[in-house]
């Protein structure tokens, strides 16, 4: 059988994909999302323009992958002892704390990408589905453990938290790269302090 082995082709594809993605983010950070062209992305990544399009057919696909990678990064930080049989409220707080850390560490890029998200007509269905699904699973598990009210529909509660998170983040990206208008952790703690008591079973 001729051609590269499947594993090698996959590695090469991933290497190019990561290079195109990284080049795009560097340009978005330096000159903005709208001002960046596919020609510039391809040149920075040292690939053909068609190759850049093959990996990311639409510019908004860069935003979608950016969000997915951040969610994966957060999930990878969740401690194993929180993943099984954990207190659901604690798990949700830990999840949001990790989101705060990423946003604070990457504030300039977060501002560029959220601006692009808004300009491109966000939110996107895939992003809503992915993040809401993570929170939905946490709440459903909390119901199974008797920690969350069983009369609550997990998806509705997840969308409430999702909406509060992104609404807060859209306010937080105002101001300058160096100076946020308020403390993001304090704001998200307020969100969780407000919502979680209504979801938890009495005594939790």
Domains within the chain, CATH numbers bracketed: 1-57 (1.10.10.60), 59-199 (1.10.357.10)
152 phi-psi bin (left φ>0, alpha ψ -120 to 50, beta other): beta
Peptide bond into 76 cis (omega under 30): no
Question: At CA 134, angle to CA 132 and CA 137, rounded to 5?
Answer: 105
Q: Tokens 């040292």 correspond to what residue?
A: 46
- pLDDT tens-digit series, residues 103-152: 999 999 999 998 887 777 665 544 555 778 888 988 999 999 999 999 99
**Which residues of the chain are under the pLDDT cut of 70?**
1-4, 79-85, 121-129, 203-204
């Amino acid at each position: 059988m001729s051609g590269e082995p499947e594993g090698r082709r996959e590695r090469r594809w991933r290497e190019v994909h990561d290079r195109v993605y990284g080049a795009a983010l560097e340009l978005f950070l330096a000159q903005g999302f709208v001002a960046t062209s596919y020609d510039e992305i391809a040149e920075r990544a040292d690939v053909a323009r068609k190759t850049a399009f093959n990996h990311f057919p639409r510019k908004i696909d860069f935003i979608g992958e950016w969000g997915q990678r951040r969610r994966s990064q957060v999930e990878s930080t969740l401690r194993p002892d929180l993943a099984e049989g954990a207190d659901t409220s604690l798990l949700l707080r830990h999840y949001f704390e990790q989101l705060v850390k990423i946003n604070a560490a990457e504030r300039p890029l977060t501002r560029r990408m959220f601006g692009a998200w808004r300009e491109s007509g966000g939110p996107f269905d895939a992003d809503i589905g992915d993040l809401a699904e993570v929170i939905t699973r946490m709440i459903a598990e909390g119901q199974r453990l008797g920690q969350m009210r069983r009369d609550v529909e997990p998806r509705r509660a997840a969308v409430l938290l999702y909406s509060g998170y992104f609404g807060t983040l859209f306010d937080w990206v105002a101001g300058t790269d160096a100076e946020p208008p308020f403390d993001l952790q304090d704001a998200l703690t307020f969100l969780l302090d407000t919502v979680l008591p209504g979801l938890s079973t009495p005594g939790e």
